[in-house]
C-alpha cells in the first residue's frame, strides 16, 4: 500500500508572475501591463544604467522597500531579462499603452458632450471591456469590465511560476522590487499555473509520489535535476497538532502573526488574512501550518494589499478551504480589481463577495462586513471590509489597517454589535506614500506633497484610544504591525521599539492598562478562550 506524501511543511512555495513576486496587480490581467511598464521595466532600466547604486540603496536600512533591485549577479542578466520581458509581455505593454492613451483622450476630449464617438479611439485590445461615462460632476472616467480581461489573451497563466525551496532561519530579503531570475541548485521551479489541480496533490497529498513528480516534469526547467529534488521535498504529512481542531462551545482565538487570526468554535474555523509561517523559519514562538485544522470553513480577506492577500499561503491552503469571503469590488477602476475573479482564476471554487453591512450566517454565528476607511491612499477601492464575527454570542471586530475619520462612522456597526469581546486594530500608522503601491496605476501624477499626504497607514494612538472608547471592548489587541521576522520580504519593516508606530502602540497599551483595561500589542503568537 502506497503511503500518502505531500510537500514537506518546511518547504516554501514562492509564487511568481514573470519572475516577480506575485501580488494582486500582477495577477489581474487588467493591471499586469501597467505594473510591468511603469514599475518593473522602469526599475530594470534604472538598474542597467547604474547597478552599483541599486545595490547600495537596496542594502541601506532607511531605503528598504524602495524601487531598488538587489541583484549581485552579472548585470547583463538583467539586460537579457528586460529584453525578454519586452518580448513576452508585448501584449500587456500594449494594454498599458491603451489604458494610458484612453485616459489622456478622456482628459482632452470628454468635456461634457456625448461619449459614443470616443470608443473608436480606444485600442481594440481593451475597447470591448471599457465603459466610458461621466460622474455627476461632469468628470469623465472609464469603468473596466474585468471579467472580459480574464477571458482574453491578456490573461496569462503561462507567466506564473512557483519556486520550491527549504525554509530557513535566514531573513528573507525584500522581494517586491527584485525579480527572481536566478535560483540555486537546491530549489525547484515549476512553471505551473496557480489554478492547476496538480497543486492540490502536491499540497494535499498523493499516494503516487513518483507519478506526481513525473506529471510535473514538463513544468520544470531542469527536470533531470529537479525531479529527484522534488521527490526529496515530499514527505509523509505530519499529523496536525493535537489541539488544531476545536469542537468546544467556547470560542478560541489564535494569532498567527501580522493580521492573520483564526477563530474557532463548535467545529467551525474562520481564518482571517492568511499569512502563515513555516516550521524552522523563525526562532520566536509561533503557530505554523501544522497548527491549522484539516478543514477551514471560511477564509476572510480584509483588503487587497500584498501582506493581506498572500498567494504563497492561499495556494497552499486551497485544498482545505471551503469558502473565501472578500469585499465586493464595485467601481471597475484600475486600483479596485476583483479579488473574486482573481481567486477563482487560482482554483478557489466558493468565493463570496460582501458589501458593507451584508453578512454570511452559519450555525451558531455570522460574519458581517463593515466599511473599511482609509489606508488606500484615498482611492476608490471597494474590495475591502472590516469584519465582525459572532460565534456563540461572542463578538470580535477585525479592523486590520482601517483608519476611519472618526469612530462615529461605525454607528451602524456598534448597533449590530453593542457588546464587543475583542477589538483587533492595526496601528502601522506611518505607512508608505500613495505611489509606493499605486504609482504604476495612476493616470495623473501626484505632487510630492500630495503623495506624502495620501498614505497606506493605520490608526495612531489618538485614533486607537477613541476607537476603544467608542466600542468599549473587553480586550483590545493591536496587530498587523508587519514586525514578525517572517514578514520582512513583503513589508520591509524592521522591528524596533524606537519606531513611531511601535511608540504609538505602546502608548495605547500603557494608557489602557493604567485604567485597568486589557490591551496587548501582539507579536508572534497568542491564544485566547472567550
Domain boundaries, the chain: 7-88+156-235, 90-150, 252-529
What pLDDT is attached to residue 153?
Answer: 96
Q: What is the pLDDT of residues 189-239, one digit of tens each?
A: 999 999 999 999 999 999 999 999 999 999 999 999 999 999 999 999 877
In the chain, the percentage of residues whose pLDDT exceeds 70 is: 100
Q: What is the pLDDT of residues 379-436, one digit of tens each?
A: 999 999 999 999 999 999 999 999 999 999 999 999 999 999 999 999 999 989 999 9
Tell the CATH topology of 252-529.
Answer: Metallo-beta-lactamase; Chain A (3.60.15)
Q: What is the DSSP string of 400-463?
A: TT---S-GGGGHHHHHH-SS-SEEEEE---S--BHHHHHGGG-SSPPPHHHHHHSB-----HHH
Q: What is the pLDDT of residues 126-153, one digit of tens each?
A: 999 999 999 999 999 999 999 999 999 9
CB atoms < 10 A from the CB of 50, how many? 12
Q: What is the pLDDT of residues 172-185, one digit of tens each?
A: 889 999 999 988 89
Give residues with Cβ within 8 angstroms of 359, minimum separation 6: 366, 367, 368, 369
What pLDDT is attached to residue 495?
Answer: 72
The pLDDT mean for the chain works out to 95
Query: How far, in Å, CA of 184 to CA of 161, rounded?
Result: 15
Q: What is the pLDDT of residues 260-308, one digit of tens each?
A: 999 999 999 999 999 999 988 888 999 999 999 999 999 999 999 999 9
Q: Quick one: pLDDT band at residue 244, thresholds 50, 70, 90?
A: very high
Q: Quick one: pLDDT band at residue 530, thresholds 50, 70, 90?
A: very high
Q: What are the backbone angles phi and psi of residue 83, rounded to the nearest 5°? A: -65, -40
Write out the three cell numbers for 328.
Answer: 465586493
Bridge partners, residue 262, by sequence: 254, 271
Give the count of alpha carbons within 13 A of 120, CB side only: 2
Under a CB-based contact definition with an 8 Å cutoff, are residues 29 and 345 in contact?
no
Q: What is the pLDDT of residues 439-469, one digit of tens each?
A: 999 999 999 999 999 999 999 999 999 999 9
| Strands (E) located in 285-436 | 296-300, 321-327, 351-354, 359-362, 365-370, 386-391, 394-398, 422-426
- Mean pLDDT, residues 327-349: 93
Q: Report, in this order, helix, strand and coil percent for the chain, each rounded to 5.
A: 35, 20, 45
Amino acid at each position: 500500500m502506497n503511503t500518502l506524501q505531500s510537500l514537506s511543511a518546511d518547504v516554501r512555495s514562492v509564487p511568481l508572475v514573470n519572475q516577480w513576486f506575485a501580488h494582486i496587480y500582477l495577477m489581474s490581467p487588467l493591471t499586469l501591463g501597467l505594473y510591468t511598464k511603469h514599475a518593473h521595466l522602469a526599475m530594470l532600466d534604472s538598474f542597467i544604467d547604474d547597478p552599483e547604486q541599486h545595490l547600495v540603496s537596496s542594502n541601506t536600512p532607511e531605503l528598504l522597500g524602495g524601487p531598488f533591485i538587489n541583484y549581485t549577479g552579472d548585470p547583463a542578466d538583467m539586460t537579457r531579462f528586460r529584453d525578454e520581458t519586452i518580448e513576452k509581455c508585448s501584449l500587456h505593454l500594449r494594454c498599458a499603452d491603451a489604458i494610458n492613451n484612453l485616459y489622456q483622450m478622456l482628459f482632452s476630449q470628454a468635456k461634457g458632450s456625448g461619449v459614443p464617438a470616443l470608443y473608436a479611439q480606444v485600442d481594440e485590445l481593451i475597447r470591448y471591456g471599457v465603459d466610458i461615462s461621466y460622474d455627476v460632476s461632469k468628470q469623465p472616467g472609464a469603468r473596466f469590465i474585468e471579467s472580459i480581461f480574464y477571458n482574453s489573451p491578456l490573461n496569462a497563466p503561462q507567466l506564473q511560476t512557483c519556486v520550491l525551496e527549504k525554509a530557513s532561519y535566514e531573513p528573507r530579503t525584500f522581494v517586491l522590487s527584485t525579480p527572481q531570475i536566478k535560483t540555486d541548485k537546491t530549489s525547484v521551479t515549476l512553471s505551473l499555473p496557480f489554478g492547476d489541480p496538480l497543486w492540490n496533490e502536491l499540497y494535499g497529498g498523493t499516494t503516487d509520489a513518483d507519478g506526481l513528480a513525473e506529471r510535473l516534469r514538463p513544468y520544470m526547467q531542469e527536470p533531470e535535476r529537479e525531479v529527484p529534488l522534488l521527490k526529496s521535498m515530499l514527505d509523509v504529512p505530519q499529523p496536525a497538532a493535537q489541539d488544531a481542531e476545536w469542537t468546544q462551545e467556547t470560542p478560541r482565538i489564535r494569532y498567527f502573526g501580522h493580521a492573520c487570526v483564526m477563530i474557532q468554535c463548535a467545529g467551525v474555523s474562520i481564518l482571517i488574512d492568511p499569512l502563515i509561517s513555516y516550521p524552522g523559519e523563525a526562532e520566536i514562538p509561533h503557530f505554523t501550518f501544522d497548527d491549522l485544522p484539516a478543514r477551514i470553513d471560511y477564509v476572510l480577506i480584509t483588503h487587497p494589499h500584498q501582506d493581506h492577500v498572500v498567494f504563497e499561503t492561499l495556494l497552499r491552503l486551497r485544498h482545505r478551504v471551503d469558502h473565501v469571503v472578500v469585499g465586493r469590488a464595485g467601481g471597475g477602476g484600475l486600483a479596485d480589481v476583483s479579488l473574486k475573479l482573481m481567486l477563482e482564476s487560482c482554483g478557489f471554487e466558493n468565493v463570496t463577495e460582501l458589501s458593507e453591512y451584508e453578512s454570511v450566517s452559519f450555525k451558531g454565528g455570522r460574519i458581517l462586513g463593515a466599511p473599511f476607511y482609509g489606508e488606500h491612499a484615498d482611492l476608490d477601492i471597494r474590495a475591502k471590509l472590516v469584519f465582525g464575527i459572532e460565534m456563540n454570542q461572542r463578538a470580535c471586530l477585525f479592523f486590520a489597517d482601517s483608519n476611519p475619520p472618526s469612530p462615529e462612522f461605525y454607528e451602524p456597526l456598534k448597533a449590530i454589535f453593542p457588546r464587543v469581546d475583542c477589538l483587533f486594530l492595526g496601528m502601522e500608522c506611518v505607512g508608505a506614500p500613495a505611489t509606493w503601491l499605486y504609482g504604476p496605476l495612476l493616470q495623473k501624477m501626484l505632487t510630492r506633497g500630495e503623495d506624502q499626504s495620501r498614505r497606506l497607514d493605520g490608526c495612531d494612538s489618538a485614533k486607537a484610544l477613541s476607537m476603544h472608547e467608542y466600542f468599549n471592548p473587553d480586550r483590545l489587541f493591536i496587530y498587523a504591525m508587519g514586525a514578525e521576522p517572517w514578514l520582512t520580504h513583503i513589508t520591509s519593516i524592521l522591528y524596533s521599539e524606537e519606531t513611531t508606530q511601535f511608540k504609538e502602540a505602546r502608548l495605547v497599551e500603557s494608557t489602557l492598562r493604567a485604567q485597568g483595561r486589557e490591551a496587548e500589542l501582539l507579536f508572534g503568537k497568542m491564544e485566547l478562550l472567550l
